[in-house]
């Protein structure tokens, strides 16, 4: 089932305006490779990142943050404990949180951790096609952090995970797929340069958390986050000469993006 494009075209720019107005506090328990990019993209969007992942602090901050982002990219022992603490706090208090199951499937430790976290009902799960398939138990995942499946190949798995959590799943790719297990939305913006810099998916996960922290419809919030991020990427690529200048311009375009521009540029497949 598809949600009416007219409804989404109203909701997407409204959600961006809500993020700008609220400046949500987003707690990020994310990987050491991309922590700087995640923080900077959130700042460019107008959110307030808090990179707090220590046990003893993680649950406390989760209780006051507008949303929490959990990314399994480099899950050391201390951070794993902090992730579970934060996710449990979100589950208990009803706080929105986003799970990014980086490289689940072929790597046993993080796959087991992802299974524990999934039981704590993330509001949104964001991953590539192979990660989502592995999370659903469809197969063994991709090649490290790289997907070996197409987005549409993960549709059934994405719906199954969404039904299991009662939340939303988004699958990143040339066309981003967003589903709550019943409604399916495809966001067709983006640019290949997103795959040429480290942390493109991690940054999107943080942005999804910012949107679900302020917008009360998780599906709409996730679609709006994907739309805002990929429209900014298209605009950044227009003047970029390669991955380095693209990464800088992506921050600028996220900061410059306004609701009318997003409403005009976002495309649904």
- Secondary structure class of 182 (helix, strand, coil): coil
Q: Is 51 annotated as a binding residue?
A: yes
- Secondary structure class of 27 (helix, strand, coil): strand
Number of helices (H) and strands (E), helices first, in the chain? 11, 8
In this structure, what token pair is assigned to residue 111? 């796959």
Q: CA 248, CA 246: separation in Å to the nearest integer?
A: 5
Q: CA 85, CA 186: separation in Å to the nearest integer?
A: 33
Please give the backbone phi and psi of residue 27, each rounded to the nearest 5 degrees, phi first.
-80, 130
Q: Is 199 annotated as a binding residue?
A: yes
Residues in the chain: 269
Sequence ranges of the binding site for substrate: 51, 199
Binding-site residues for ATP, please? Answer: 126, 172
Binding positions: 51, 126, 172, 199
């Amino acid at each position: 089932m598809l949600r009416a494009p007219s409804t989404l075209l109203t909701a997407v720019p409204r959600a961006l305006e809500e993020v700008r107005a609220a400046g949500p506090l987003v707690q990020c328990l994310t990987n050491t490779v991309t922590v700087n990019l995640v923080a900077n993209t959130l700042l460019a969007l107008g959110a307030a990142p808090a990179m707090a992942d220590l046990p003893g602090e993680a649950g406390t901050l989760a209780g006051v943050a507008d949303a929490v982002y959990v990314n399994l990219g480099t899950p050391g022992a201390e951070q794993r404990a902090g992730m579970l603490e934060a996710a449990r706090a979100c589950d208990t208090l009803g706080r929105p949180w986003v799970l990014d199951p980086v490289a689940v499937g072929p790597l046993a430790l993080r796959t087991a951790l992802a299974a524990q976290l999934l039981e704590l009902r993330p509001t949104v799960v964001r991953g590539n096609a192979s990660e989502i398939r592995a999370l659903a138990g469809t197969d063994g995942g991709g090649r490290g952090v790289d997907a070996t499946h197409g987005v549409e190949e993960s549709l059934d798995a994405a719906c199954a995970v969404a039904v299991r959590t009662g939340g939303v799943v988004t699958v990143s790719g040339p066309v981003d797929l967003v589903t709550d297990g019943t409604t399916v939305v495809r966001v067709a913006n983006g640019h290949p340069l997103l795959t040429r810099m480290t942390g493109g998916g991690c940054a999107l996960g943080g942005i999804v958390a910012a949107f679900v922290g302020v917008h009360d419809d998780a599906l709409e919030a996730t679609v709006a986050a994907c739309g805002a991020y990929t429209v900014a990427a298209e605009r950044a690529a227009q003047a970029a000469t390669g991955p380095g200048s693209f990464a800088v311009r992506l921050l600028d375009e996220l900061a410059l993006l306004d609701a009318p521009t997003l409403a005009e540029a976002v495309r649904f497949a």
